[in-house]
Chains A and B, each alone.
Chain A
Amino acid sequence: MSVAARATALIVAVVVVVGLGVFVALYFIGGTSALPTVHYAASGGQVNVVLQEDPQNNSASKPDWVSYYVQDPSSKQWIHTTLFSVPANTKVNVTLYGYDGCTPLRNNYFSQVQGTIGGTVTVSQFDQHGKEYVPNHTTSVINGWSDCNVGHTFAIPGMNLFVPVASPNAALSANNLCSSSPCTTTGNPYALETFSFRSPDHGGVFRWQCFVPCGGGYLDGNGGPMQTLGYMMGEMDVVSS
């Protein structure tokens, strides 16, 4: 074989191998990007992020997995995703509807609110008739062990943000949970929680997760929805201006 032929074969082989690698990488990255991202724009130096967590979801493949939803700020539609973006260096006001029932935290340390402005959340709980049985109050701890009032957590470990998400109480969790997602406040018990934090002053992707092992049926409760984007783990994309 001539030198030219050998060089050509070598180049072709390199191109094929590199191309294969790029294809595989893009395939997986593309898989992630198939999940929609909800974009929140700042108004008056702050954004309002609205989330809900449900005992199930409306997907075709895993309808029995617990899941977060993100509300589109324009249409007010609930989007089945856990990807959202916020501007950098902005006050982020989060409103979180907790429809899923209570589950004990594996480490009760995460009952403590950390990283929010003031180190607190404001929370109230409603029964299926819309009656506010725990009035709106501000607290720095929602004890997930003594009261069974924590359904999940919303945590961004990279920002030291840890927020226990309140749930309907034990009795309501046992019998009356929302059964059709996305859930609504009508006819379903839920907890309403608000808190604020400041987004980082630089851009970047910050992963968020739940620290309640809510992947029932999986190893240590941390499989399934706990390890799947679009369910109980997500990413907050901080966009620099």
Chain B
Amino acid sequence: MTTTQTPTQPTGARHGLRIFLIWLILSLAATLLIWFVWKPHMPPGDMSDAARHQQFDIAVLAVSAAPVIIFVLVYFVYSIVVWRARPGDESDGEPIYGNTKVAATWIIGTTVIVLWLFVFGTVELVGPAGAGAGEGPSPIWKLSGVQTASWTAGSNDMLQVQVIGQQWAFTYRYPQFGGMESAELFLPVDTPVTFHVTSLDVIHSFWAYQLGVKADANPQVDNVAYVTPKALGSVTVRCNELCGIWHGAMYNFGHVVPQAAFQAWASGVQAKERADGILAALPPYALTYDPTVIPQLGKNLPKIDGITGAAGYYYPPSDPVTP
């Protein structure tokens, strides 16, 4: 009588140890690669404090996710290699219900992961330079910096910049420079900046990519966002809310420049706009604007059928004009 010899299989504990060791080595390698090789290149870069936070968050989430993904893949490959059915083996796999160790590991592991993500995400959203409660129409904390009526290079004065969205361009007003307005975004480096984001028509979204700033531009809403640029360079500003046929072309480039250069630029624009008369032609600086009312109109302007209403009203929503 002949007996069939089967290859010696490791016990369950040795399978677990093998999988654990493979997983540990690969996870360690992946974590080191993510943190030291990939992280410096992760979006949106490190041009501002907010961008650095976002880059850090993305790297932490990647490091958190890597061991989970690696475990799934290791288990998958190990199962295929070690536990695959041999030719002639028609038997079922071993039932594992009631395995307390497996159930406990699963419950504890997933609970730790979810709680970790909850705590980390909440802290990062609420904390300074986060993207949550610290920003928006009613921010609960303020960026450190001195609120002043004017801005001076070399001080800790906070720079106020109003972002105005309109189909299909952003313009920027600087209330500390007489309310001058520019089609180009200039910011001083190492300066706390408060953006006041609003719109004159539909909903836009101000996305200064390399600065890690994204804020909806809603009509009649002052949406606040904070940033402190930490490096010189160019910033891509895009609209991130579908706002019409040329939404995709609604972008331009901002510049982070030395503080003295910023002061020279802003003062120069202010002086030119004052000399040209455009500064006086702009409406008084306000956190929001009602584009249906233009105070300057209506005084000497006759009603133009199909264009303006009485008393300076302008495309009044209650009286849409049909051409």
| A residues neighboring B (CB under 8 Å) | 64-66, 101-104, 106-109, 111-112, 114, 140-141, 143, 145-146, 148, 155, 157-158, 160, 162, 170-171, 173-174, 207, 209, 211, 213, 215-217, 219-222, 224, 226-227, 233
Contacts and interface: CB of A to CB of B under 8 A. Distances in A.
A216 B315 contact: yes
Contacts of A233: 245-246
A221 B315 contact: yes
Given A107-B171, A112-B276, A215-B323, 9 more contacts: A101-B307, A102-B304, A107-B166, A111-B278, A146-B281, A174-B302, A216-B321, A222-B244, A227-B245
Contact of A108 (B281, B306, B320, B322): B281
Contacts of A171: 302
Contact of A216 (B166, B200, B281, B306): B306
Interface stretch (B45-53, B62-70, B149-157, B289-297): B289-297
Q: Enumerate the 3 nearest inter-chain pairs by beta-carbon distance, A residue then B residue, closest first.
A: A220-B201, A216-B321, A145-B296
Main secondary structure of the interface of B (DSSP, over half): loop
Nearest to A108: B281
B307 A211 contact: no
Contact of A104 (B166, B171, B297, B321): B297
Contacts, number: 115
Nearest to B306: A216
B281 A145 contact: yes
Contact of B307 (A107, A155, A216): A216
B323 A217 contact: yes
A108 B283 contact: yes
Nearest to A105: B294
Nearest to B289: A107
Interface residues of B, number: 43
A222 B320 CA distance: 12
B200 to A, nearest CB: 5
A58 B306 CA distance: 19
Contacts of B276: 112, 140-141
Contacts of B200: 106-107
A173 B307 contact: yes
A135 to B, nearest CB: 19
A173 B304 contact: yes
B181 A109 contact: yes
